[in-house]
Copies of this chain bind each other. A is one copy, B any other.
Amino acid sequence: MSQKTGILYIVGIGPGHEDHMTPAALKAISEADIVIGYITYIKLIRHLISEDKKIVAAGMTEEIERARSAVEESQKGKKVAVISSGDAGVYGMAGLIFEVLREMEWKKGDSPEIKILPGITAINSCASLVGAPLVHDACTISLSDQLTPWPAIEKKIEAAASADFVIGLYNPKSGRRTEQIVIAQKIIGKYRKSNTPVALIKSAYRKRENIIISDLENFLDNAIEMLTTVIIGNSNTFIYEGYMVTPRGYTNKYTWDGEAIKGQKRGVPLKLNEQGKPVGV
């Protein structure tokens, strides 16, 4: 191994528009000797990468090769930026890179030095385009069964639906894989009303951005693709003037003048009646 310590930047570029990419991410890309990423993501930031850099644009399902080459090049002393859209730690390259490092018996202090730069993840950039659907407890579930057993995915959908999480579905559908989103709808429908708000967001903050607000009964009537993010509201989510909103719960306790409702008190747990509902509402 070279004596020179390389740096491996693991970079989340956010939704893909510069306005929503952090200064730290931009700086890492500008400092790197080599920029590695899935070809679609490389294209999104191509104009930010100067001519002197080496670019490795890899296809889908080539993640292992991409992670290995990133580790190997940076180990030799290069500065390498591996980019993922959104946050590299959310269904992104960060996990695989650590798995490769472990496989290679890399130790802390060895080359490369690891620097992880967070980015705005898809669920958050998508939510910002439709209102405020994530203001209460939420989860993300990928419907892709390429690497995860389908029964484990189904179990997650059932649990999330039954406990009233706002649900973000990633990779809802692909050319060959069309049934999973139908099953998801059925499972969630056991626990939530048919008029539960559902948002479909494609290519957030990109050229082909497309946003649809629908509901649990009807959302499958719309085009859904691999890169569509589906956000399904909880039992309190509502639509107002085209915005999808999940309340945090302030009206359980306060009037619009900011005073505590009779029977409730600022700074203490929400008081419940015998039916388990907030007192005074």
Contact = CB atoms under 8 A, between A and B. Distances in A.
B108 A118 contact: no
A209 interface: no
Contacts of A89: 124, 127-128, 132-135
Contacts of A103: 256
Contacts of A138: 90, 139-140
Report how many copies the assembly holds.
Answer: 2
Contacts of A106: 241
A137 to B, nearest CB: 5
A46 interface: no
A270 B146 contact: yes
A158 B163 contact: yes
Interface stretch (A33-41, A212-220, A222-230, A244-252): A244-252
A164 interface: yes
Contact of A120 (B63, B119, B150, B151): B119
Interface string A248-278: 1111111011100000001111101000111
A121 interface: yes
B246 A276 contact: no
A221 interface: no
A191 to B, nearest CB: 11
Nearest to A151: B276
* A: interface residue count bin: 35 or more
Interface string A20-53: 1111100100000000000000000000000000
B131 A116 contact: yes
Interface string A50-66: 00000000000111110
Given A20-B23, A94-B131, A145-B269, 18 more contacts: A23-B23, A64-B257, A68-B258, A87-B124, A90-B134, A95-B248, A96-B250, A98-B131, A98-B240, A117-B128, A118-B120, A136-B142, A139-B160, A147-B248, A149-B270, A149-B278, A152-B164, A156-B163
14 contacts: A22-B120, A95-B135, A98-B132, A98-B240, A99-B251, A102-B240, A106-B241, A107-B241, A114-B243, A118-B128, A137-B141, A148-B249, A148-B252, A159-B159
